Chain A
Amino acid sequence: MRAMVYRGPYKVRVEEKEMPRIEHPNDAIVRVTLAAICGSDLHLYHGLMPDTRVGHTFGHEFIGVVEQVGPSVQNLKVGDRVMVPFNIYCGSCFFCARGLFSNCHNVNPNATAVGGIYGYSHTTGGYDGGQSEFVRVPFADVGPALIPEWLEDEDALLCTDALATGYFGAQLADIAEGDTVAVFGAGPVGLYAARSAWLMGAGRVIVIDHLDYRLEKARTFAHAETINFAEHDDIVVEMKRTTGWIGADRVVDAVGAEADGNLTQHVTGAKLKLQGGSPVALNWAIDAVRKGGTVSVMGAYGPIFSAVKFGDAVNKGLTLRMNQCPVKRQWPRLFEHIRNGYIKPNEIVTHRIPLEHIAEGYHMFSAKLDGCIKPVIVPSAA
């Protein structure tokens, strides 16, 4: 089969790879019909995530058709069209039994702090991902779900991570009616978080980025006010000014480890890896939120320490909430919102790229070329 493989920082290619096998009785093999590149994949692509091995296939956002099932699989059969959450989880451990699906304890030998994720390095379990023609899906009775008849493929694909994560991020922000919500980052996660903040009754939604074309999308798709931080000498002062010198009630960090805006933090964190990521956006969030407010962190950070302004978080009495998104929990309610026309997920898709051209796709998404917001990958066997 054809599959994307990692060749080292900033290098990927498509190779002929052995077909995945049923390794466990509850495994399924899924033929991928659509996949996507996520902002999280950039952390791997840039060589920032520890234990990212050459030969590993990325991809944690995908949908497909069941090709084969293991002997204990009850809920899926060959030919079913399925959407697969980015989390790999057992459904039965201490954490899964309480709904913490992204924190499963039974699927990742390599680390206890992270659950299992498809195609996301060995630090999240060493599973090959879905930027490929076929993929092994563990716990087929737990994670995947049939794609509802009425749901379009691209919309289903976006439910497997970006949309679910943005929606989850808005929930963790504890938004109450009339709250002013600031979202750092106008990538897919930030755009969906901003759109979701309105569902929860926000009174004002402000999106911050430095890419004008993404801020434009924040205005049209997410109905938000926008600020280009590159146009301000000090974005924190601007945030204070625009919120009556109090700060935003709730802030979402939808940027993560590769935040720009401070060269020292960016180079030590995102490049040299002397920190677990560049906490520029997180620190801006801590500064820009009001005292007693909530910061919801959706941005991903590496496993080593980062220079976070913890003292200010303490002094301001902040609530910091965060997690990898437990995707499947979001689906029933998200489906209602999509059906009601409140969110049309694929309005943010900008590029559809054949698997064979995925190297250009990575470069374009990483360097933010050609107005790229969300690239979708179409495998050859699809």
Chain B
Amino acid sequence: MAYTAEKPPLPETPEQLRARIPGWGADLDPRDRPSVPREVPGIETGAHWDFPERQVEHSPRERSIEHGTMPPVFGTSAPLKGASGAIRRFAYERYSEGRAAHWLLLIAADRVDAVESHLTALASTRPDNLLTETGIKAEITHHGLSSRTAGKRVDVGHQALDPVIVAGPWIVAAGLTILGADALRRRIDARTARPTTSTAQGTGTGAGQQMGQQAGTAPVDPTVAAPSYQPGMS
């Protein structure tokens, strides 16, 4: 077929469409479309204030650093707590919404939150029940197998693995972060335990020296504990 100025022909005329489809063309005129134009200055909203009264902030509420002020109204669901809360607070205080780090930290915190919450629940009267919480019973009551084998679905291949793929890498990453932080702390402990490091000498009052004394019960060979570490290098 040749490319001409003609619009490709339609299978039905407007009259046929109007007869077949209830309401065909009812909003043909853009002025009948409630979202045209997009902005309607002065639109009636029901607000009887210029600026809303401020909701009481019971505990310091995290907020995006792209806000110049605390919005007057906010949700009070699930306040920050635990290690996930610390990561989330850091993500909000340190990075704007423009930074990938902001969102990646928040997602990492979500995975930490799930682990923390499962552990806390274990010690409670209501531990998590994987069978009921995943709703897996629906596989039996709502035709799991036949629903998946009907027709050509492209999602059946990855569905079974989805929960693992979603949670796995993040939990590993969270674990490695905790291990990494722990290793770093031990290296710093070992370094500050070294009687001859410049930091320990320089401070004089000796946080390092005190720690050195604590560690003294099990003498550490600083050259083994931190062979190549230079102060200020991390």
> Could you tell me which A residues sit within 8 Å of B by CB distance?
7-13, 15, 23-26, 46-48, 50-57, 72, 74-75, 88-92, 96-101, 105-113, 116, 122-123, 125-128, 136, 138-139, 141-142, 168, 171-172, 177-178, 180, 196, 198-201, 203-204, 210-213, 223, 228-231, 243-246, 260-261, 263, 266-267, 271-273, 276, 302-305, 323, 326, 329-330, 332-334, 337, 340-343, 358-364, 367-372
Contact = CB atoms under 8 A, between A and B. Distances in A.
B166 A303 contact: no
B206 interface: no
Consensus secondary structure, chain B interface: loop
A47 B166 contact: yes
A210 B153 contact: yes
Interface stretch (B30-38, B179-187, B192-200, B219-227): B30-38
Given A72-B48, A204-B10, A360-B142, 11 more contacts: A7-B133, A24-B73, A26-B52, A54-B78, A106-B51, A112-B97, A199-B25, A210-B152, A267-B165, A276-B103, A337-B23
Nearest to A332: B34
Interface string B15-49: 00100111111111000111110111111011111
A303 B103 contact: yes
- Residue among A11, A57, A127 with the highest chain B CB neighbour number at 10 A: A11
B92 A110 contact: yes
Contacts of A116: 73, 75
Given A271-B166, A359-B135, A364-B142, A108 B48 contact: no
A126 B47 contact: no
Contact of B21 (A90, A101, A105, A198): A198
Nearest to A123: B106
23 contacts: A7-B133, A9-B163, A10-B163, A15-B126, A23-B55, A48-B166, A51-B88, A57-B77, A89-B45, A90-B72, A101-B45, A106-B52, A198-B25, A243-B8, A244-B8, A304-B103, A333-B32, A334-B34, A337-B23, A359-B133, A360-B135, A367-B139, A370-B143
A57 B139 CA distance: 24
A244 B1 contact: yes
B231 interface: no
B117 A7 contact: yes
Smallest CB-CB A-B distances: 10 pairs: A342-B23, A244-B8, A91-B47, A8-B114, A126-B75, A363-B135, A91-B45, A127-B75, A359-B135, A109-B63
A271 B41 CA distance: 41
A107 B14 contact: no
B103 A231 contact: no
B64 A210 contact: no
Interface residues of B, number: 105
A53 B77 contact: yes
A267 B164 CA distance: 12
Interface of B: 1, 3, 7-8, 10-12, 14, 17, 20-28, 32-36, 38-43, 45-53, 55-56, 61-64, 66-67, 70-78, 84, 88, 92, 97, 100, 103-104, 106-107, 109-111, 113-114, 116-118, 126, 128-130, 132-139, 141-144, 147-148, 150-155, 157-159, 162-163, 165-167, 169
A271 B78 contact: no
B34 A266 contact: no
Given A177-B14, A211-B153, A360-B137, A91 B46 contact: yes
B120 to A, nearest CB: 9
A363 B47 CA distance: 40
B143 A230 contact: no
A99 to B, nearest CB: 4
A9 B114 contact: yes
Given A91-B46, A267-B165, A360-B135, A106 B72 contact: yes
Contacts of B48: 72, 74, 141
Contacts of A260: 154-155
- Residue among A46, A329, A370 with the highest chain B CB neighbour number at 10 A: A370
Contacts of B27: 171, 196, 199-201, 333
A107 B73 contact: yes
B133 A13 contact: yes
B150 A128 contact: no
A305 B103 CA distance: 11
A213 B150 contact: yes
Given A91-B45, A342-B23, A363-B136, A98 B50 contact: no
A227 to B, nearest CB: 12
Given A55-B77, A210-B153, A211-B151, A199 B142 contact: no
B207 to A, nearest CB: 36
B153 A363 contact: no
